[in-house]
Structure 1
Amino acid sequence: MNTKKSILLIVIVLLIDQISKIYIKTNFQLGEEIYVFDWFRIHFIENNGAAWGTELGGRTGKLVLTLFRLCAIVGIGYWLRKSIKEKAHDLLIISVSLIFCGALGNIIDSVFYGVLFTDSYGQLATLDTANAYGDLFHGKVVDMLYFPIWQGNLPEWIPGVGGNYFTFFNAIFNVADSAITIGVMILLFFSKTVFPKK
């Protein structure tokens, strides 16, 4: 896979990610949900950028996380460039391209959304830099894809959690998260192919 194809993949996935996020942010109020199927919903939430919406020490933690991600994407970009230059297996280049554009998609939210959009609490957000909800590097990541495939009480015989209400799959994520996950899964499932022994 050459550089042009890698860039094309990155641009396409990044556009899908950002268009979907901007659409959701400007057409849904925070917490609003629509059913596509019983097992698939569009559910608008925002998080500070850590996995599963984890908070990391307020504004300072958020800034540290964003700066770490910026450094990480430089490293991923270097890995991608090196892989293309060394004519690595196409699956490796595809997976690293997906990880790169997924990380970049969430970085865009974290860095810029706070200074571009108004708040989404109880209202539709608008593109309004004069009344934006945050600061540069303190934006929130938009998530919307929700797949509660099964919900119900767990059987009583399961130790520790028996009888508790449980949802499988409870995470809410976005296209960028999906790209990262797919990229990592390719690396794991095809590790012998993408990392051949020399």
Structure 2
Amino acid sequence: MSVHAFVDESRRNDTYYLAVAIVPPKDLKRLRSALRALLFPGQRELHFYNEKQGRRKLLLSKLVESGPRVDIYRTSCRQGEERARQECVARLTDDLLDLQGHRLVFDSRASRDTFDVHTIRSVLNKRAGESLLVYEHVDSVDEPLLWLADIAVWCHGAGGDWARRAAPMIGSVIRLDWP
């Protein structure tokens, strides 16, 4: 199954999270339209951290209804946030190759995007010939499907009722530094 993957990050204390929304090609247009329909007039993107609690609940319930799958990679960032991120990016890339991923899209971090590129190329070089994976970094304003990852990872990291509400859209939680 060829899939597209949309990635965002979060950090809670010493835990680093990388969330990836896995979207089959047949669902791309439908989910983008559903996400854009949730914007207020003049609003350019959904960023869960900036939303008020009542709006968060409404947005989350609408997204859960639309049926996306978001996997979460989780590790300690006590040895540095960038190191934690690159561990997650490497594992995510490897897992995406197993899914025959077609496109990998990250929320851009400007000059730090080069770290991701290096990690992805390293994984692809080890599995040469297995994939035609295309990867890129874009601004989240330009790609609504990045908002899925943002919302899911915010809720999962917050725990409690937020994690419970988001649970139907969470596919797997991959813990890289736990047994």
TM-score tier, shorter chain, comes to 0.3 to 0.5
Normalising by structure 2, report the TM-score: 0.33
Tell me the TM-score normalized by structure 1: 0.31
Larger Rg: 1
